A = this chain, B = another copy of it.
Amino acid sequence: MDRSAPPRRVTIVDVARHANVSTTTVSKVLRNAYGASPAMHQKVRKAIAELGYRPHAAARGMRGQTYTIGVMLPDIRNPFFADILDGVNEQLTDTEYQVLLGRGYNGEAAEERVTDTMLDHQMDGVILIAPVSSRARLDHIAATVPMVVVGRHARSAAYDSVADNDTAGAALVVEHLAGLGHRRIAHIEHHETDRDRLAEMPNAIRAQGYRQAMHAHGLADEVDIASTTYTQQGGYLGARQLLARPVRPTAIFAGADIVAMGAIQAIAEAGLSVPDDISVAGYDNTMFAAFDPISLTTVDQAGRQIGANAAQLLVSRIVDRGRRSTQVTLSPTLVVRRTTAAPREE
């Protein structure tokens, strides 16, 4: 068995020969380009089927399109991103575009590596989900390839963006908790110092929305933020900080469901119960929020829809790179479950 010499791939030349046409014609049929008669189309399609031909994306990339879209996601463990991906794929079904994924690990260096890889593979477009990269870097990518940014409130002429209204989402949570009678409503945020990101990243905007909403409800003095990260570990540590306050909060608004999971764990370890001692709300309405033993009150972001919008914008930009950039903002809704309740009488 000669495994060292893989069978030669069927090429466009083979198809052309088999169909008795030129490679040009085959290429035109492949791309549905102008200048091939129906008869030619049929002949070529037949030859393609008979030979089991597949165009070679790497070779295509050297001249034209690869029909491949790259999606960068920061964290494969957050099920919310899976919802977005579902939307992307749904939108791309029945198109000729394929999707390949890359992980950004919430770090600029890793994001640069993976986006570079996508560019090196000559992808036709990229969707970046909640990227932490600098604006300059985003502009650089967008200058090279059609790009859509998801979940970051960016307003750039060079690329489109799709985001949820995080200010409104944070307000929904605070309103709900305040309405239940809570005053000491604390927040766990994903720490942010970079100027641009403070203005654009959802975590920063949720934190800002929290502050605003607290003010709006006359609770400005009660603002209390634990600054960690959007991870389970971050939620755990953040809640421990908050529980150690001289006066404990009666409710915690975690910036993401996964953060709420960590917070709930810390609360349980402290011998307190949810929601009797402390109410907890999350953000994202992931499948785990819906999971009965948890039943987390949370904000629903309609990830599928976000993803579908992103894919649609990207494809339209691939078709027309010159068109003006679009910003889509979707509205979140609150899903009340069993982790929030009126505070205990004191």
| Chain A contacts with B in 55-71, Cβ cutoff 8 A | 55-59, 61-62, 66, 68, 70
Q: Which B-chain residue is minimally distant from A6 (CB atoms)? A: B144
Known contacts A58-B120, A62-B59, A6 near B143 by CB under 8 Å? yes
Q: Is A157's CB within 8 Å of the partner chain B?
A: yes
| Chain A contacts with B in 87-101, Cβ cutoff 8 A | 89, 98-101
B6 x A121 contact (CB < 8 A): no
* A143 neighbours in B (Cβ, 8 Å): 3, 6-7
Q: How far is the CA of A294 from the CA of B56 in the complex (A)?
A: 48
Q: Is A221's CB within 8 Å of the partner chain B?
A: no
A82 x B76 contact (CB < 8 A): yes
Could you tell me the distance in whole angstroms from the C-beta of A316 to the nearest C-beta in chain B? 14
Q: Is A346's CB within 8 Å of the partner chain B?
A: no
Q: Is A314's CB within 8 Å of the partner chain B?
A: no
Could you tell me the distance in whole angstroms from the C-beta of A319 to the nearest C-beta in chain B? 12
| Chain A contacts with B in 1-26, Cβ cutoff 8 A | 1, 3-4, 6-7
B287 x A77 contact (CB < 8 A): yes
Q: Which B-chain residue is minimally distant from A61 (CB atoms)? A: B58
Convert A207-244 into 0s and 1s, putting 1 for each residue whose CB lies closer than 8 angstroms to a CB of B: 00000000000000000000000001000000000000
Could you tell me the distance in whole angstroms from the C-beta of A340 to the nearest C-beta in chain B? 15
Q: Which B-chain residue is minimally distant from A144 (CB atoms)? A: B6
Q: Which B-chain residue is minimally distant from A274 (CB atoms)? A: B293
B120 x A121 contact (CB < 8 A): no
Q: Which B-chain residue is minimally distant from A55 (CB atoms)? A: B120
Q: Is A264's CB within 8 Å of the partner chain B?
A: yes
* A98 neighbours in B (Cβ, 8 Å): 113-114, 117
Convert A100-116 into 0s and 1s, putting 1 for each residue whose CB lies closer than 8 angstroms to a CB of B: 11110000000001101
Q: Which B-chain residue is minimally distant from A320 (CB atoms)? A: B4
Residue from B4, B103, B293 within 8 A of A85 (CB atoms):
B103
- In order of increasing CB-CB distance, the 7 nearest A-B pairs are A58-B61, A57-B120, A101-B101, A58-B122, A265-B292, A98-B117, A100-B100
A interface with B by C-beta (< 8 Å): 1, 3-4, 6-7, 54-59, 61-62, 66, 68, 70, 76-77, 79, 81-82, 85, 89, 98-103, 113-114, 116-122, 143-145, 157-158, 232, 261, 264-265, 268-269, 287-288, 291-294, 321-322
Known: A1-B157, A261-B291, A268-B293. 12 other contacts (CB 8 A): A3-B322, A7-B144, A54-B120, A57-B120, A58-B61, A58-B66, A59-B62, A68-B117, A100-B101, A100-B102, A100-B117, A232-B287
Supply 12 A–B pairs (Cβ within 8 Å), ascending by A. Answer: A3-B321, A4-B322, A56-B120, A58-B66, A58-B120, A59-B61, A68-B121, A77-B79, A89-B103, A100-B102, A121-B121, A265-B292
